[in-house]
Structure 1
Amino acid sequence: MSFINIFYLKGRRFKKCWTWLLLFLSAIFIIHFISPLSYTNRCQTKQSIIRDWSIITVDNENEFQSNNFSLISDSFLASRRQFMKEEIRHVAFLKVHKTGSSTVTSIIQRFGWERRLNFILPASSPNLISQNESITTNNILHIDKDETFDILCSHVIYDKKAFQKYLPKDTVFIGIVRDPFDQFVSSVYYYKYRWNVPYLARLPIRYPIKYLLENPSQYEPKILQSSFTKSRMSVDFGLPQELFHTTDKNKILPYLRKIHSEFKLVMIKEYFDESLILLRRILNWNMIDILYIIKNTSKYVPLRGYRDRYLHKQHSFLDYCLYNFFVRIFWKRVRQQGEDFHAEVSYFRQLRSAVEDFCSEVMKKSALHAQVFEAKENEFHSYIVINKEYCILLSMDEVEFSNKLKWRQFPHLRPIGNQNKRPRKRW
């Protein structure tokens, strides 16, 4: 009791101190308890880009079993038309080696499969029309005369006249590039260890990059189109032979401008999701159409030295010109998109991650009930639903999908006994 009296007397004696202490405590209370609530409310009113998505357990599994994805109903299509202009279905994607093009190819294949579009398909390989020439009569499978091709997304050398000979006039041309040195390193390891390409197989197991860059004439093929490691991106873009032997940018630049005028978009591998959002906006596709699971990647730790990048720039100078040119074009395009572009990219990454987690779970054999992933309509997409069948399509690699497309377009080419074979699961 006496302690309380002393405390009270001191409080009266130091009235100003107690007043300041109370104000300080009040400020802390406001900052920690009241301000966050008001800030959250402001965020909810001003920034509504992230919508709820959910996973629905379906009692009647038969309702959702359909090869044509009956979940995508007429009401869904009507909703989508309110969001977007008419989607572009005639697409030529230049599949550039080791640039993330397998993932883009799988996206385009899925888009065409759902709409029963006709693909230009290789005559003798699942995904390679030609490594050293453009489209010819002999290297593709031909459809009936009363039909037309809609999509191209297999490996082939770019040539505008050859492409236009087989594709409609309104076809949109899309390409992709990657940091030249990273593309080179990926090619060395992929084609040496996975495909055992002869000229790369001769490289020492340890430091193959170093040996190749220090002695290119000893290892590189004499025919430029036979190489996977010398300016391969420029080869795939069909740049003239004389440009591979010059460093004169005044000679190179006109051809790069020509490519720019012919391609609606050249994607950048290092900014893959940003590239896909640009692709979606250009082609007027829905966000479900660009969802993906990364394809054809290798886990390795490349052995490379500090001089390797310098030597590679001398080895593949044209690829650096190509890449730097289109990176500048890319970011100029991004700056023209408006304030909501980066918000859409952020939302897409979260949605894609959630879909990948859902598919990983629903593909497990222990799943007892049919489940559906649902994303509500928002400012970036119309209503989205994904079931197990769609997850199977997402998980398929380009070779599996190429065979699937080939067997539907050309049933007589389907191997006997594979009619009921389900796609291989890759998880």
Structure 2
Amino acid sequence: MISHAAYFLTFTLDLIVYRCVRVACCSRLRFMWFTLMFLTVLCVALQMLGVVRQARLIIVKSQADNTVMCQPKKHIVFLKTHKTASSTILNILYRYGESHNLTFALPLNMHSQLFYPAFFAAHFVEGVRTRSVKEFHVLCNHMRFSSQEVRKVMPKDAFYFSILRNPVAMMESLFVYYKAIPAFRAVKSLEEFLIQGGRSYNASVPNNHYARNILTFDFGLDNTAPENDTELDRRSAEVIAAMERDFPLILISEYFDESLVLLKHALCWSLDDVSSFRLNSRSERSRRPLSAEIADRVKEWNSLDWRLYQHFNATFWKRIDSTLGRTKLQQEVELLRAKRRNLEQMCLQEGGAVDPAQVQDSSLKPFQYGAAVIQGYNLRLELNNDTRQLCQRLITPELQYTSALYTKQFPQLAAARAAAAKKIAASRNTATHRAVKRNIETNVHTAIVTMYEAQLI
């Protein structure tokens, strides 16, 4: 529009000058007319340049105003829930934090969890009691959430988010992974456990929290079963209200790629930042489909979890519709999947996950627990150093990555623990091994008893 206006003004001025020159030619004041016209044209031209420049500035400002400007979030709290693809989210946060020199609120004494299933307490974080860390950026290891205690550790502007999974698929996974807990140990199958009405379940027995409403439990809320529908309505409303108060974003595991796109926008990150491989994932041969009848029993058994999953699954899509829209979401999901395929081709020897027995580098083998077969990855052999470092971070299992970050943040403490571990390992070949082991077990037991007495567990 501005270019057309400038052209019109220029044409008009040319016409005026032409007519004035003709008049001047017929006058003895020819020279004066030429001088006057020259000055007039010069002034108008300068004014036009000013108008055009001002108009360009307006366009630039308008373009800037229409662009969503944001600063990447670096103060983050992620409540890592169980069997929800949360280990993959953890890896994303670890990689981003490491590449941006962020400080993690890591578990005390090089543990992988923040003394779960105890309610989180600020002093569970390494560096809090000693005040050796001035500022924590990311808190993301397993914990039982306590808003008051978390806020003692994390900055006021921290962004809180978590992830949920359909309780039906989640309980099938929990049963396989935690088969050794008292509630599951006495039965042969999940079907048997549910048909018996959870007869082997006792809420007061340690570790049985894995067997019922574990999502509600992880969020620091009462996971005991409601006695009737009225209580279920009231309790589920309270759980949802508490979660919405503390967590502005809840992701959904069944829509994992869509969740990553939503997370990318919420954190003001890039698609590269949230590109990832699945970690701590079971092989397909260890998965069992559940019948419709058993699925209904799971929903009834985990009634609180089922209610909150239904609610946040709905709000997940409402958020997408009110922000990105389905079309833009799908475009970004396709871009994210293309990036993942490129990373798989660049990094992985087999192009995908393999069973643990096939993982060639023992330092990259995922932890195996229960009856689950947790898969890992093999890297291509011909990678250069930079590419290998990038790819290795993508496939490093949770325990190994947590240990590496702890060593990086607390090198002296890590060295002391490594030295102690060597002494214990050396004692295995001596007569004192049993005494050393018994002493360690006694100390651990004493610590747990102390935590119980302090009502931390």
Cα pair distance change 1:90/1:199, threshold 3 Å:
same
For residue 413 of structure 1, report the CA deviation from its aligned partner.
3.0
Partner residue of 1:75? Answer: none
Aligned with 1:307: secondary structure?
helix
1:398 and 2:401 matched: no
- Percent identity, aligned pairs only, is 25
Aligned residues: 317
Distance 1:217 1:152 in 2: 35
Conserved? CA contact 1:247–1:318, under 8 Å: no
Conserved? CA contact 2:80–2:86, under 8 Å: yes
For residue 132 of structure 1, report the CA deviation from its aligned partner.
2.6
Partner residue of 1:164? Answer: 151
Cα deviation, 1:230-259, whole Å, max 9, x if unaligned, reads 111111112235674453324422431331
The amino acid across from 2:211 in the alignment is: T
Q: TM-score, normalised by structure 2?
A: 0.64
1:185 and 2:172 matched: yes
Structure (1 or 2) with the larger CA radius of gyration: 2
Structure whose residues are more often helix by fraction: 2
Conserved? CA contact 1:176–1:267, under 8 Å: yes
Conserved? CA contact 1:239–1:255, under 8 Å: yes
Cα pair distance change 1:353/1:418, threshold 3 Å:
farther
Moved more, 130-139 or 358-367: 358-367
Distance 1:224 1:236 in 2: 17
1:175 and 2:162 matched: yes
Conserved? CA contact 2:175–2:190, under 8 Å: yes
Cα deviation, 1:374-427, whole Å, max 9, x if unaligned, reads xxxxxxxxxxxx7221111111111111001111111123257989xxxxxxxx
Cα deviation, 1:96-138, whole Å, max 9, x if unaligned, reads 1001101101111111111221212222564221333322245
For residue 216 of structure 1, report the CA deviation from its aligned partner.
4.5
Cα deviation, 1:125-153, whole Å, max 9, x if unaligned, reads 64221333322245332253561111111
Partner residue of 2:316? Answer: 330
For residue 95 of structure 1, report the CA deviation from its aligned partner.
0.5
**Matching residue within 349, 354, 363 for 2:342:** 354
Conserved? CA contact 1:157–1:236, under 8 Å: yes
Distance 1:95 1:213 in 2: 26
1:117 and 2:131 matched: no
Distance 2:399 2:100 in 1: 19
Aligned with 2:162: secondary structure?
strand
Cα pair distance change 1:110/1:180, threshold 3 Å:
same
Partner residue of 2:211? Answer: 229
**Matching residue within 292, 301, 307 for 1:321:** 307
Conserved? CA contact 2:121–2:146, under 8 Å: no
For residue 217 of structure 1, report the CA deviation from its aligned partner.
4.4
Distance 1:346 1:106 in 2: 21
Distance 1:365 1:278 in 2: 31
Aligned with 1:340: secondary structure?
helix
Cα pair distance change 1:225/1:240, threshold 3 Å:
farther
What aligned pairs does 1:181-260 form with structure 2 within 5 A after superposition? 181-192=168-179, 196-204=180-188, 208-223=189-204, 226=207, 227-240=209-222, 244-248=226-230, 249-260=233-244
For residue 366 of structure 1, report the CA deviation from its aligned partner.
4.3
Partner residue of 2:256? Answer: 272
Partner residue of 2:447? Answer: none
Distance 2:183 2:223 in 1: 21
Q: Which runs of 5+ in 1 are unaligned?
A: 1-81, 372-385, 420-427
The amino acid across from 1:211 in the alignment is: E
Partner residue of 1:340? Answer: 328
Distance 1:108 1:136 in 2: 21
What aligned pairs does 1:86-165 form with structure 2 within 5 A after superposition? 86-124=71-109, 126-143=111-128, 144-145=131-132, 147-165=134-152
Cα pair distance change 1:221/1:347, threshold 3 Å:
same
Cα pair distance change 1:406/1:214, threshold 3 Å:
same
Distance 1:235 1:344 in 2: 33
**Matching residue within 360, 365, 370 for 2:384:** 370
Conserved? CA contact 1:131–1:225, under 8 Å: no
For residue 352 of structure 1, report the CA deviation from its aligned partner.
1.2
1:291 and 2:275 matched: yes
For residue 84 of structure 1, report the CA deviation from its aligned partner.
5.8
Distance 1:258 1:123 in 2: 27
Distance 2:169 2:329 in 1: 27
Cα pair distance change 1:403/1:247, threshold 3 Å:
farther
Aligned with 1:175: secondary structure?
strand
What aligned pairs does 1:381-392 form with structure 2 within 5 A after superposition? 387-392=387-392
Aligned with 2:308: secondary structure?
helix
Conserved? CA contact 2:183–2:211, under 8 Å: no
The amino acid across from 1:212 in the alignment is: F
Conserved? CA contact 1:243–1:252, under 8 Å: no
For residue 264 of structure 1, report the CA deviation from its aligned partner.
1.9
Q: Which runs of 5+ in 2 are unaligned?
A: 1-66, 352-377, 420-457
The amino acid across from 1:310 in the alignment is: D
Conserved? CA contact 2:225–2:303, under 8 Å: no
For residue 168 of structure 1, report the CA deviation from its aligned partner.
0.3
Cα pair distance change 1:242/1:305, threshold 3 Å:
closer
Cα deviation, 1:143-168, whole Å, max 9, x if unaligned, reads 53561111111111112111111100
Partner residue of 1:60? Answer: none
Distance 2:114 2:379 in 1: 35
Partner residue of 1:310? Answer: 296
Cα deviation, 1:302-334, whole Å, max 9, x if unaligned, reads 264442112212211001001000001000011
